[in-house]
Amino acid sequence: MTFEALGLNTSILKALTDAGYTKPTPVQEQAVPAAIAGKDLLVSSQTGSGKTAAFMLPSLHRLAELEPSAAGKTPNQEMQAARARGERPRFKAAQPKMLVLTPTRELALQVTTNTDKYSVNLRRIKAVSILGGMPYPKQMQLLAKNPEILVATPGRLIDHMESGKIDFSQLEILVLDEADRMLDMGFIDDIEKIVEATPSSRQTMLFSATLDGVVGNMARRITKEPQIIQIMSAANKHENITQRVHFVDDLSHKNRLLDHLLRDETLDQAVVFTATKRDADTIADRLNIAGFSAAALHGDMHQGARNRTLDSLRRGQVKILIATDVAARGIDVPSITHVFNYDLPKFPEDYVHRIGRTGRAGRNGHAISLVNHAEGMHVKRIERFTKQLIPVNVVEGYEPKKSSVAPRSSRPGGWKPGDNRGGAKPGQRSFSKPGSSSNGPRREGNGESRSFGENRGHSENRGSGEGYKGGGYKGNTPYNSDRPRRSYGDR
């Protein structure tokens, strides 16, 4: 299958060739022709599957075919004309033709960047990001240009809608990207409000890792006779990612092992996931002291700082990113070879999103979870969710002293003595040596490990500053209605 066969216009085809895309991915093969035909879509596919192009290419194709705005002038031009007439300019609301809702700022920026790439030969079509954390005056300037495409996080978008800056009456296409995640983050009320403000004649495309449970219910409410596309590619199943678990006795053991594994010679760049913002900062500091090029990424950082960190990661200046779930979502850096779960995620679906940061663009990757003995059951939950067994490994010299609560019967692919690639070399410092405090502060004084899902004061929670209340993973319905309904830090 070629992009030409999907029926895309020549300006878009040229942009794809320039971007180095040679053929459509499976989700693009199915979604593009259906979306060009104007159908509503419900698509279950992961990041990394090419889903952004799957909704953006047909949308650009359709937008390019629309007549230029009947209004003729942009809100900016109208205000200038009013001033020239000596009248007091009235702000005219932006009237986008397409809206993409994303759960996080990072994903929104990535969608906008990809859109710019695909629409480079479509002069009339502009996409802008409307995000929490961005100064309002800057966003007003962007909206005043009346862009055809808005890519937005729900909270900030609602602010602009409520103050009359955006009018969705001309909207043709609505996309909900990573819809499961938006619900998981408590955006359901905002999404309902936004959908309510758009014309019922719109085309709706919903992308989600799962179409079960609450996501499925909402999807059915907001789409009309949707075409359902479920992609079970190798990338979806993460078959290109080698997964393993290492059991650790305590924090000191965990830190030593992490330090050792980060020195693997096959490691190009890595993301280390922590449960809390505070740990992300602390571990980044420790790793820098130990000689790594590390940086933290979490929701307490200003958008500018987050963007700078991500740029440094993309340019290879930062080798190890220490991140919380929400901040790391949507990171698309093909040279990330390893993902580490320093803390296990609260929900199995977060595990899938985390490990998807590696093995991008057809490469192989490694996903390594450092697990306390008491967390064996949580590993089993992840295995049930992913329908894959995760082998347990032991590195010579870093063996756990205790045995795990849920002993693992097999050790497929276990590391044998002498197989510990890239181990700490003589003279290299380990950032946390047992009984040593010379390499930075030790956690909570006693090096004790914490339990899975423990709610700590600084957790990257999904509510407005309050602790996460979710009752844990239930069956295969990722969204739990007990969860806080407000988004965190989106405005």
Q: How far is the CB of 235 from ligand AMP (least distance, A)?
A: 8
* Rounded least distance, CB 183 to ligand AMP, Å: 19
- Decide whether 54 or 158 has the Cβ nearer to ligand AMP: 54
Residue 106 or 259: the one with the smaller Cβ distance to ligand AMP is 106
In a 3-state reduction of DSSP, which class is residue 348?
helix
Adjacent-strand bridge partners of 204: 174
Q: 317 to 346, contacts with ligand AMP by CB under 6 A?
A: 332
| Nearer to ligand AMP among residue 50 and residue 376 (C-beta) | 50
Residue choice 6, 13, 34, 49 for contact with ligand AMP (CB under 6 A): 49
- 146 is a contact residue toward ligand AMP (CB under 6 A): no
What distance in Å separates the CA atoms of residue 229 and residue 143, rounded to the nearest whole number? 33
96-135 residues near ligand AMP, rule: CB under 6 A: 114
Block residue for tokens 């209004």? 71
Site membership for ligand AMP, residue 48 (CB under 6 A)? yes
**How many residues of this chain interact with ligand AMP, rule: CB under 6 A?**
14
Query: Minimum distance between the CB of residue 300 and ligand AMP, rounded to whole angstroms?
Result: 25
Among 66, 361, 377, 405, binds ligand AMP (CB under 6 A): 361
Q: Which two tokens stand for residue 189?
A: 């009320």
Which of 199, 174, 145, 167 has the alpha carbon at shortest distance from 95?
167
473 makes contact with ligand AMP (CB under 6 A): no
Instruction: Choose which of 36, 44, 50, 61 interacts with ligand AMP (CB under 6 A).
Output: 50
User: What region, left, alpha or beta, does residue 60 occupy, with left being phi > 0 and alpha being psi -120 to 50 degrees?
Assistant: alpha
- C-alpha to C-alpha distances, 436 to 40, 249, 370, 411, 433, nearest whole angstrom: 60, 17, 21, 32, 5
∠ CA 142-143-148 to the nearest 5 degrees?
100
Is residue 241 close enough to count as binding ligand AMP by CB under 6 A?
A: no
Q: Collapsing DSSP states into helix, strand and coil, what is residue 117?
A: helix
Tokens encoding 264: 């693997």
Of 24-32, 86-94, 198-206, 288-296, which part binds ligand AMP (CB under 6 A)?
Answer: 24-32
Rank residues 21 and 431 by Cβ distance to ligand AMP and give the closer one. Answer: 21
Contact 280, 322 (CB under 8 A): yes
What pairs with residue 166 in β-bridges? 94
The strand pairing partners of 272, in sequence order, are 322, 340
The answer to whether the CB of 327 falls within 8 A of the CB of 353 is no
Task: Count Cβ atoms below 10 Å from residue 189 Cβ, excluding itself.
Answer: 13
Closest approach, Cβ 22 to ligand AMP, in A, equals 6
Choose between 52 and 242: whose C-beta lies nearer to ligand AMP.
Answer: 52
79 binds ligand AMP (CB under 6 A): no
Pairing of strands 127-130, 149-152: parallel
CB of 144 or CB of 235, closer to ligand AMP: 235
Tokens 């756990």 locate to 400
Q: Which amino acid is at 115?
A: T
| Nearest Cα residue to 431 out of 288, 318, 323 | 288
Is 21 a binding residue for ligand AMP by CB under 6 A? The answer is yes
- Smallest separation, CB 37 to ligand AMP (Å): 20
| Stretch of 49-57, 237-245, 313-321, 380-388 contacting ligand AMP, by CB under 6 A | 49-57
Interface segment toward ligand AMP; rule CB under 6 A; list 48-56, 146-154, 157-165, 306-314: 48-56
Distance in angstroms between the alpha carbons of the first and the last residue of the chain: 42
By the criterion CB under 6 A, which residues form the site for ligand AMP? 21, 24-25, 28, 47-53, 114, 332, 361
